């Protein structure tokens, strides 16, 4: 909302330096951080929160500025209207479900012409172009008092009848600024005897608008159903100064005064005479309400005791007519302060004018609960895993959760299994990811070079019949190095979490993984994750030329399977270490060989694959008895056991 300083000064003196005043306004909730200059005029730019329709007017802002400075407001003097000289009929059909108040008057014999200079300047300072004296006055009064109004060409209201009703949808409407719209369902419209003449609360119609030859006008204010107006204006993409006021809920008590204000100005600027009674249809009486603020509540919420006299002073400055009682203060809330509904609202009024920055600062007293809260979340294991990955050279990324259909397609995944956004910002961000891999693969594209290790740990969003299932996953991509380099990180995570006895299935159901160079990590039937090379067709689709390894593991399962490991005391006696080179027939699973050897004898304390040359595999085996030193004969016997087992199970032969 723009506030020209000279206009503001019509209603309130400005005693504080402008910079101080702007901060004081901001502190009080009327955010005012910037000004601009238009000629000699300084214009304040204020941000009006959704609860304050009154601040959508110069007078409303003036009231706040007066309260801040402790000054009196100079309300515009609104004279009574001159006597009616004619009786032009106008029939307003009521439906109190659609509106709450409808106030209007007919003026005859006006002369449509450009506005006088002072009026034009005010319209220009609000960032608009002056149109003619009548329209400029309706806008002027809206900016001044915060109540939108509209002027019709009286002679264009066929049958002198106006009916307020809901649109059916599909009606064609041409607005007063000559734009065509097709109306949505349930917009509030006004019809005359024959046609649609107004889109209530949003825009007037071209057919009934003020034209250069207009002689007689009907001036009105409708306070309509705010929700219906909001919905229609969103659907039409038609947001105006008026709709911004309407959806905040304008002052239902101020319609008569605003019509009088506008009518007086019209008589003064455009001539004419009053040609009807002042019509005022209203659902209820809209009168100031009383609201009580107890001292106990005030102190309980604020944490300090503001002296009672100061509290009364503040409420007085805000025009809330405070009357002190023994236990609190009775206030009368003016109709333009529809936002003050409950006691807490009055607490805020006192606090904000007292000044938030005058409050002392304390820390909460009370109980630190020892009960676990619902949705309790401990991310220490996630942080551990992040650090394991970092130690393996992976860098952490944070990618967007929304991805494109195109990317899902390139990864050969099924779009139907992804949640779609009804109103995406663009097609690049239309689906919620079900895997962290696609974004990581895309990241390869923006990092040139042969070596890259990236990971992410975050949520994926799975679509199930019941609804949404959000799961934390850890995923990585790895470029450069060979399979064993790549697998280090996966094994490190599993071993650091003390997950033992997991197995590798030589297949996966992940379409983006290589048909034969990828697999599933399992413990029993529990799937921990998948890993392997990206499918060459995915690489082709993504235009990536290097071989890419990737993995994705389920965090919740890793956490569940993770075990606490007890300390094993250091053996006193030395171990025996030897290298054993075995050769295997093709397609032997070396991982299984290692598992087998480990399980042969409890005296085998460690085994490591040291070297691979063609089909020869060198294992370093450590023998250790915690209680004593093993003799050469004992080691020899275990070795024989190993050789026999690998021969029977895998057809291995010893290489000498």
Instruction: Give residues 294-313 in contact with other proteins (rule: CB under 8 A).
Output: 300-304
Task: Candidates 108, 231, 235, 316: give the one binding other proteins (CB under 8 A).
Answer: 231
- Does position 329 bind other proteins by CB under 8 A? no
Task: Candidates 389, 407, 497, 558: give the one binding other proteins (CB under 8 A).
Answer: 389
User: What is the nearest approach in angstroms of other proteins to the Cβ of residue 180?
Assistant: 26
β-sheet bridge partners, residue 620: 579, 608
- Does position 184 bind other proteins by CB under 8 A? no
Residue 426 to residues 236, 463, 468, Cα–Cα distance (Å): 20, 21, 22
Q: Phi-psi bin for 160: left (phi > 0), alpha (psi -120 to 50), beta?
A: left
- Does position 283 bind other proteins by CB under 8 A? no
Q: Cα(10)–Cα(59) distance, rounded to whole angstroms?
A: 9
Tell me the window of 29-37, 134-142, 159-167, 573-581 that interacts with other proteins (CB under 8 A): 29-37
Residue 369 to residues 301, 329, 373, Cα–Cα distance (Å): 22, 37, 9
- Does position 319 bind other proteins by CB under 8 A? no
Instruction: Count residues binding other proteins (CB under 8 A).
Output: 98
- Does position 496 bind other proteins by CB under 8 A? no
3-state secondary structure at position 604: strand
Task: Candidates 11, 143, 154, 394: give the one binding other proteins (CB under 8 A).
Answer: 394
- CB-facing half-sphere around the CA of 350: CA atoms within 13 A: 30
**Which residues inside 42-81 make contact with other proteins, applying CB under 8 A?**
49-52
Q: Cα(184)–Cα(187) distance, rounded to whole angstroms?
A: 6
Q: Is the separation of the CB atoms in 642 and 649 below 8 Å?
A: no
User: What is the nearest approach in angstroms of other proteins to the Cβ of residue 382?
Assistant: 9
User: What is the nearest approach in angstroms of other proteins to the Cβ of residue 519?
Assistant: 24
- Does position 85 bind other proteins by CB under 8 A? no
User: What is the nearest approach in angstroms of other proteins to the Cβ of residue 453?
Assistant: 6
Query: Which CB atom, from 29 or from 253, has the smaller least distance to other proteins?
Result: 29
| Per-position DSSP letters for 308-342, written without gaps between them | HHHHHHHHHHTT---EE-SSEEEEEE-TT-TT--S
- Does position 459 bind other proteins by CB under 8 A? yes
- Does position 29 bind other proteins by CB under 8 A? yes
453: enclosing H helix or E strand: strand 452-463
Strand order in the sheet with 576-583: 604-613, 616-623, 576-583, 653-654
Would strands 161-166 and 273-274 be described as parallel, antiparallel, or unpaired? unpaired
- Does position 37 bind other proteins by CB under 8 A? no
Sort 395 into a burial class: Cβ within 10 Å, 0-12 / 13-18 / 19+: middle
Task: Candidates 18, 182, 227, 654: give the one binding other proteins (CB under 8 A).
Answer: 227
Q: Cα(625)–Cα(340) distance, rounded to whole angstroms?
A: 81
| Helix (H), strand (E), coil (C) string for 128-153 | CCCCCHHHHHHHHHHHHHCCCCEEEE
Chain CA centroid to CA 91, Å: 46
Site string for other proteins, 235-264 (x = CB under 8 A): ------------xx----------------
Query: Which CB atom, from 153 or from 247, has the smaller least distance to other proteins?
Result: 247
User: What is the nearest approach in angstroms of other proteins to the Cβ of residue 467?
Assistant: 5
Q: Is the separation of the CB atoms in 148 and 130 below 8 Å?
A: no
> What is the CB neighbour count within 10 angstroms for residue 428?
13
User: What is the nearest approach in angstroms of other proteins to the Cβ of residue 407?
Assistant: 14
Query: Which CB atom, from 491 or from 592, has the smaller least distance to other proteins?
Result: 491
Sort 387 into a burial class: Cβ within 10 Å, 0-12 / 13-18 / 19+: exposed
Task: Candidates 21, 26, 174, 295: give the one binding other proteins (CB under 8 A).
Answer: 26
Task: Candidates 392, 437, 534, 603: give the one binding other proteins (CB under 8 A).
Answer: 392
| Per-position DSSP letters for 250-275, written without gaps between them | --TT-HHHHHHHHHHHHHHHH--EE-
Query: Which CB atom, from 151 or from 314, has the smaller least distance to other proteins?
Result: 314
User: What is the nearest approach in angstroms of other proteins to the Cβ of residue 328?
Assistant: 15
Query: Which CB atom, from 224 or from 247, has the smaller least distance to other proteins?
Result: 247
**Which residues inside 573-602 make contact with other proteins, applying CB under 8 A?**
none
Residues 6+ apart with CB under 8 A from 60: 52, 53, 54, 146, 336
- Does position 351 bind other proteins by CB under 8 A? yes
| Per-position DSSP letters for 9-41, written without gaps between them | TTT----S-HHHHHHHHHHTT-EEEEEEEETTE
Classify the C-alpha dihedral 163-166-169-175 as positive or negative. Answer: positive
Task: Candidates 99, 455, 486, 623: give the one binding other proteins (CB under 8 A).
Answer: 455
Tell me the window of 95-103, 134-142, 450-458, 561-569 that interacts with other proteins (CB under 8 A): 450-458
Query: Which CB atom, from 156 or from 251, has the smaller least distance to other proteins?
Result: 251
Q: Is the separation of the CB atoms in 546 and 470 below 8 Å?
A: no
- Does position 155 bind other proteins by CB under 8 A? no
Tell me the window of 265-273, 451-459, 509-517, 522-530 that interacts with other proteins (CB under 8 A): 451-459
Residue 523 to residues 451, 459, 506, 596, 629, Cα–Cα distance (Å): 31, 22, 14, 17, 35
Query: Which CB atom, from 162 or from 236, has the smaller least distance to other proteins?
Result: 236
**Which residues inside 466-495 make contact with other proteins, applying CB under 8 A?**
466-468, 470
534: enclosing H helix or E strand: strand 526-534
Query: Which CB atom, from 106 or from 440, has the smaller least distance to other proteins?
Result: 440
Residue 401 is classified by DSSP as S
**Which residues inside 406-445 make contact with other proteins, applying CB under 8 A?**
416, 419-425, 429, 432, 439-440, 442-443
Query: Which CB atom, from 443 or from 590, has the smaller least distance to other proteins?
Result: 443
Sort 179 into a burial class: Cβ within 10 Å, 0-12 / 13-18 / 19+: exposed
**Which residues inside 353-382 make contact with other proteins, applying CB under 8 A?**
356-357, 359-369, 371-379
Query: Which CB atom, from 326 or from 398, has the smaller least distance to other proteins?
Result: 398
User: What is the nearest approach in angstroms of other proteins to the Cβ of residue 474?
Assistant: 13
> CA gyration radius for the chain?
39
Task: Candidates 84, 163, 174, 399: give the one binding other proteins (CB under 8 A).
Answer: 399
Q: Is the separation of the CB atoms in 207 and 197 below 8 Å?
A: yes
User: What is the nearest approach in angstroms of other proteins to the Cβ of residue 459?
Assistant: 6
Task: Candidates 91, 308, 344, 491: give the one binding other proteins (CB under 8 A).
Answer: 344
User: What is the nearest approach in angstroms of other proteins to the Cβ of residue 615?
Assistant: 31
Task: Candidates 108, 165, 324, 352: give the one binding other proteins (CB under 8 A).
Answer: 352
Task: Candidates 197, 402, 534, 582: give the one binding other proteins (CB under 8 A).
Answer: 402
User: What is the nearest approach in angstroms of other proteins to the Cβ of residue 360?
Assistant: 6
Tell me the window of 3-11, 164-172, 306-314, 457-465 that interacts with other proteins (CB under 8 A): 457-465
β-sheet bridge partners, residue 38: 41
């Amino acid at each position: 909302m723009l506030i020209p300083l000279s206009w503001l000064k019509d209603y309130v003196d400005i005693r504080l330096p402008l910079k101080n005043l702007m901060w004081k306004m901001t502190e009080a909730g009327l955010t005012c951080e910037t000004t601009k200059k238009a000629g000699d005029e300084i214009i304040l730019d204020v941000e009006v929160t959704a609860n304050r329709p009154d601040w959508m007017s110069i007078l409303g802002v003036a009231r706040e500025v007066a309260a801040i400075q402790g000054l009196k407001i100079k309300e515009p003097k609104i004279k009574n209207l001159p006597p009616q000289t004619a009786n032009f009929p106008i029939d307003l059909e009521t439906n109190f479900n659609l509106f709450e108040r409808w106030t209007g008057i007919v003026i005859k014999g006006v002369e449509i012409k450009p506005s006088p200079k002072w009026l034009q300047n005010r319209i220009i300072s609000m960032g608009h172009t002056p149109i003619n004296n009548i329209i400029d006055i309706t806008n002027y009064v809206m900016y001044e008092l915060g109540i939108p109004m509209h002027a019709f060409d009286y002679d264009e209201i066929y049958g002198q009848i106006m009916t307020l009703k809901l649109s059916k949808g599909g009606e064609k409407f041409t607005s007063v600024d000559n734009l065509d719209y097709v109306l949505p369902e349930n917009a509030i419209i006004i019809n005359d005897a024959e046609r649609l003449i107004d889109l209530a609360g949003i825009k007037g119609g071209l057919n009934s608008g003020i034209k250069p030859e207009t002689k007689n006008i009907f001036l009105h204010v409708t306070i309509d159903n705010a929700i219906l107006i909001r919905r229609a204006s969103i659907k039409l993409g038609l947001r105006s100064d008026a709709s911004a006021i309407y959806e905040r809920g304008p002052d239902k008590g101020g319609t008569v005064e605003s019509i009088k204000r506008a009518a007086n100005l019209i008589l003064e600027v455009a001539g004419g005479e009053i040609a009807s009674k002042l019509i005022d249809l209203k659902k209820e009486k809209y009168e100031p309400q009383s609201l009580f603020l107890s001292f106990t509540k005030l102190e309980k919420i604020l944490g300090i005791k503001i002296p009672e006299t100061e509290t009364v002073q503040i409420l007085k400055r805000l025009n809330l007519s405070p009357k002190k009682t023994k236990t609190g203060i009775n206030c009368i809330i003016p109709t333009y302060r529809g936002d003050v509904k409950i006691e807490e609202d009055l607490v805020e009024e006192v606090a904000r004018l007292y000044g938030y920055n005058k409050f002392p600062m304390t820390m909460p007293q009370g109980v630190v609960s020892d009960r676990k809260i619902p949705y309790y979340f401990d991310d220490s294991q996630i942080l551990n895993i992040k650090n394991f990955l970092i130690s393996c050279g992976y860098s952490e990324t944070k990618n967007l959760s929304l991805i494109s259909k195109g990317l899902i397609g390139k990864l050969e995944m099924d779009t139907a299994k992804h949640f779609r956004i009804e109103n995406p910002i663009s097609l690049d961000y239309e689906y919620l990811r079900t895997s962290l891999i696609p974004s990581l693969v895309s990241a390869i594209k923006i990092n040139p070079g042969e070596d890259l290790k990236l990971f992410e740990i975050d949520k994926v969003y799975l679509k199930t019949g019941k609804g949404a299932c959000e799961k934390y996953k850890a995923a990585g991509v790895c470029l450069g190095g060979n399979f064993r380099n790549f697998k280090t990180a996966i094994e490190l995570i599993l071993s650091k979490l003390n997950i033992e006895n997991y197995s590798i299935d030589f297949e996966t159901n992940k379409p983006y993984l290589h048909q034969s160079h990828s697999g599933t990590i399992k413990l029993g039937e529990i799937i921990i994750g998948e890993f392997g090379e990206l499918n060459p067709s995915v690489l082709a689709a993504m235009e990536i030329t290097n071989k890419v390894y990737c993995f994705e593991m389920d965090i919740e399962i890793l956490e569940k399977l993770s075990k606490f490991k007890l300390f094993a005391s250091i053996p006193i006696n030395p171990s025996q270490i030897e290298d054993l080179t075995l050769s295997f027939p093709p397609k032997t699973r070396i991982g299984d060989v290692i598992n087998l050897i480990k399980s042969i004898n409890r005296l085998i304390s460690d085994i490591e694959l040291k070297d691979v040359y063609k089909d020869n595999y060198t294992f370093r085996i450590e023998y250790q008895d915690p209680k004593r030193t093993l003799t050469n004969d004992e080691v020899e016997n275990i070795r024989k056991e190993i050789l026999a087992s690998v021969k029977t199970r895998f057809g291995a032969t010893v290489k000498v």
